[in-house]
Amino acid sequence: MDQAVAMKQDMDLSPYRVFDDKQWSRLRADTPMTLSASEVTQLQGLNDPMSMDQVEKIYLPLSRLLAFYAESTFGLHRATQKFLNAKGGKIPFIIGVAGSVSVGKSTTSRVLRELLARWPASPKVDLITTDGFLHPNLVLEQEGLMGKKGFPESFDRPRLLKFLSDIKAGKRYVKAPVYSHFYYDVMPGHTVTVDKPDILIVEGLNVLQTRELPKDGRAVPFVSDFFDFSVYIDADEQLLEDWYVERFMRLRETAFRDPSSYFHRYSRIDDAEALETALRIWREINLLNLRENILPTRPRADLILTKDRSHRIAKVALRKV
């Protein structure tokens, strides 16, 4: 079969519609820009630049799309309650954001939170990262899992599922644990409270991860079962490695210099040893996690944002309805 014909057939069978940044930007329509340049600068993460141009071309159209999805979902919930003759409050619209270490999940999630909160209806939008649901270092050390921190088995999955179940049930004052990247551990006694948001963004490495289904047909919930929409942020492996190493080397000159930092020891080694250390951590832990657990979940996302070397979104893939 001719290669061009085969590629066209593959595209026809793809569950996604693919847009370049110019095509996607046209879908903004009349969605107003509600963030200032200084606010966008404050929202970007270390080594993850975000420009006004990217917000206008990529995130404003996405905000418009999410508005349609959210309103449709709220309408479906109202119709279901009417059918069941049941009373109940509004069920939160939950958005999952997944992707590799160093791909920019946090920046994307923060930008989305600010844009969604500025819709005309002024919805209450909360953001939770799944890092807080990691097992504490003490538990990981006891279980021999410190070298697999960030892998699915390093998370307290039952606690995360309970949290999401309570949120979807409309419960008030639901608490989530807090993680510190400075101390590289869950903070004992520290929590954040989520109180009946209209929209909740859940950001994490493995939020689209599935698990082996039991053969007896018992219900086994996935984290993504609670999502109404999901986003996967994608980039080439080599870019991810480069960005991770760049961030590691920058942190050596900033946060790692604090003696209280878990990684303080890396600020006292020379550049060559630091580079070797960063590459080892990336290849032995983060790249392995990406290949085994994170990347395989990409086809489960409703939307895939693909970055180029400059961190710009070069391609958007939207799942066909």
Cβ within 8 Å of residue 13, ≥6 positions away: none
Distance (Å, rounded) from C-alpha 96 to C-alpha 148? Answer: 22
Cβ within 8 Å of residue 53, ≥6 positions away: none
Q: What is the pLDDT of residue 71?
A: 93
Distance (Å, rounded) from C-alpha 173 to C-alpha 46? Answer: 31
Distance (Å, rounded) from C-alpha 161 to C-alpha 159? Answer: 5
Q: What is the pLDDT of residue 184?
A: 95
Whole-number Cα distances in Å, 62 to 4, 132, 172, 317: 31, 27, 29, 11
What fold, for 15-206+219-319?
A: Rossmann fold (3.40.50)
Residue 210: burial class (beta carbons within 10 Å; 0-12, 13-18, 19+): middle
Whose tokens are 């930092």? That residue is 261
Q: What is the pLDDT of residue 211?
A: 76
**Reported pTM:** 0.92
Whose tokens are 């003759």? That residue is 85
Domain ranges in the chain are 15-206+219-319
Q: What angle separates helix 237-252 from helix 271-281, to the nearest 10 degrees?
A: 140
Q: Which of 183, 215, 202, 240 is nearest to 112 (CA)?
A: 202
Q: What is the pLDDT of residue 269?
A: 92
Strands (E) in 70-170, as ranges, are 93-99, 125-129
Distance (Å, rounded) from C-alpha 212 to C-alpha 278? Answer: 33
Q: What is the pLDDT of residue 62?
A: 97
Beta pairing partners, 306: 234, 315
Cβ within 8 Å of residue 240, ≥6 positions away: 100, 101, 102, 103, 286, 287, 290
Q: What is the pLDDT of residues 179-223, one digit of tens each?
A: 999 999 999 999 999 999 999 999 999 999 987 767 777 777 899
**Residues across the chain:** 321
Q: What is the pLDDT of residue 12?
A: 63
Based on C-alpha coordinates, what's the Rg of the chain? 21
Distance (Å, rounded) from C-alpha 223 to C-alpha 164? Answer: 8
Q: What is the pLDDT of residue 297?
A: 96
Strands (E) in the chain, as ranges, are 16-20, 93-99, 125-129, 174-180, 185-194, 199-203, 229-234, 303-307, 313-319
pLDDT tens for the chain, 321 residues long, are 555 544 455 556 789 999 999 999 999 998 999 999 999 999 988 788 899 999 999 999 999 999 999 999 999 998 988 999 987 777 899 999 999 999 999 999 999 999 999 999 899 999 999 999 999 999 999 999 999 999 999 999 999 999 999 999 999 999 999 999 999 999 999 999 999 999 999 999 999 998 776 777 777 789 999 999 999 999 999 999 999 999 999 999 898 999 999 999 999 999 999 999 999 999 999 999 999 999 999 999 999 999 999 999 999 999 997
Q: What is the pLDDT of residue 2?
A: 56
